[in-house]
Amino acid sequence: MREPHWKSYIVTTSEPVLTPQQCNEFIRIGKNTDIKRNFITASPTSGHRACNISWVPFEEITSIYQIIKDKMEVINNNYFGFDNIELFEPGQYTEYHKGGFYNWHIDHDVKMKAMPVVRKMSMTLLLNDPKDFEGGDLEIFCSETLDSKNNKVSFKQGHAVFFASFLLHRVIPITEGNRKALVMWFSGTPLR
């Protein structure tokens, strides 16, 4: 793991969290689990998000979830220090095709207000080789301007970035190919 590059709220892994075989297994299950195709939030003209998504149940792939949970605990202990953090939500398989994107947002959903926990840490893990697509970069706002090159997170297949869920982030439009990612959230009691 390299040193976090902004107040210990963003940590990228220097070693893969998942092997290529585990990534391919997650892709296979994600593609076969009630996928929402052409998932668009807001209206197509306002364009908040355009991608395919599905949620992979815990029981489908418990060993991979355990690997990710273990890695999250190490990163939380070494960098974040959030109290009472757990894995409550299944992973979201997300596929961006040419033109797919997700505009600037934070990982908070109004519907979650009824839940007894809040999202504290988010994770994006790249499931396919970055050579399979162009564009589609994950950007996390950590500099002076939204369009700064310092916001870009680069990582390889099986590698992940863990970041505080309250940080503004986006996926820029895909210009070629498909980007496949696993997105997860780790939640707990409200931040103090």
pLDDT for the residue numbered 38: 62
Number of domains in the chain: 1
Name the H helices within the chain. Answer: 20-31, 62-75
Quick one: tokens of 166?
Answer: 């309250």
pLDDT for the residue numbered 43: 46
How far is the C-alpha of 191 from the C-alpha of 82, rounded, in Å? 8
How far is the C-alpha of 89 from the C-alpha of 92, rounded, in Å? 9
In a structure prediction context, what are the per-residue pLDDT tens digits for the chain, which is 192 residues long?
Answer: 444 444 468 999 999 999 999 999 999 999 988 767 666 655 444 558 889 999 999 998 999 999 999 999 999 999 999 988 999 999 999 999 999 999 988 997 545 555 568 899 999 999 999 999 999 999 998 766 667 777 788 899 999 999 999 999 999 999 999 999 999 999 988 877
Q: Which domain holds residue 79?
A: 10-188
Residue 2 maps to a domain: no
SS3 label, residue 174: strand
Residue 5 maps to a domain: no
Of the candidates 68, 84, 161, the residue with the CA atom closest to the CA atom of residue 120: 84
Neighbour tally for 58: CB within 10 Å? 13
- 118 forms bridges with which residues in the sheet? 188
Instruction: Specify the CATH number for the domain of residue 169.
Output: 2.60.120.620
pTM over 0.75: yes
pLDDT for the residue numbered 44: 45
Residue 120 maps to a domain: yes
Residue 4 maps to a domain: no
pLDDT for the residue numbered 159: 98
Residue 61 maps to a domain: yes
